Amino acid sequence: MPLTGRPGLPATHVVSPLFEQHHRPVSTDAMPAECVITVPSSTPVWDDAAGKSVYPEPTQIYPGPSDVDGRCRVHRVSDATAATIGDRTLALAAYIVTIPPGSHLVPVNALVTITRCDGDPDLVGAVLQVQGARRSALTWERVLTVQMQQDTAR
């Protein structure tokens, strides 16, 4: 005869209902860098002054109005891989960017620009392209997989 009901002791949970509430401030406190996330427009608009179609300014989605700053954590997860685009071979490096969980959902191809990084000042100004966002039933941080084009000597 199959077992029914929840395993374990009555009125207990394997994961506490307060798990996210407890871990969110800890994760946010471990975000020493700052970034801005924008979504480029994919539809050009006509500009009478320029006499041609132009792309509007990208839409900033992070930090949003409810965010104090653009706090984030960024780290490299793999060595650069080579990709051929047109006639150029580019080095692409995979990174993880972590932002607070209450942030706007970040779409693929959004751009993450690092605006402050005391641990690695050379990373300031780097632009990383979002490849995906991890989703989970328990969320105490939003994890973005991103890719950065490395400078190449020619």
pLDDT band at 29 (very low <50, low <70, confident <90, very high): confident
Q: What are the sequence ranges of the domains in the chain?
A: 19-150
Tens digits of per-residue pLDDT, 47-89?
899 899 998 999 999 998 777 789 999 998 877 677 777 777 7
pLDDT band at 35 (very low <50, low <70, confident <90, very high): very high
pLDDT band at 151 (very low <50, low <70, confident <90, very high): low
19-150: in CATH 2.40.10.270: yes
Q: What is the pLDDT of residue 116?
A: 96
Q: Which residue has the higher pLDDT, 143 or 2?
A: 143
* Res. 104: pLDDT tops 80: no
* Res. 3: pLDDT tops 60: no
Sequence-ordered strand ranges (E) for 4-153: 33-39, 45-47, 52-54, 59-62, 71-76, 81-85, 88-99, 111-116, 127-133, 142-150
The mean pLDDT of 26-30, rounded to a whole number, is 86
Report the DSSP beta bridge partners of residue 127: 113
Q: Please report, to the nearest 10 degrees, the dihedral formed by the alpha carbons of residues 109, 81, 89, 122 taken in order.
A: 70
Q: What is the pLDDT of residue 109?
A: 92
In terms of average pLDDT, the best of 10-19, 38-47, 77-86 is 38-47
The mean pLDDT of 1-11, rounded to a whole number, is 58
pLDDT band at 4 (very low <50, low <70, confident <90, very high): low
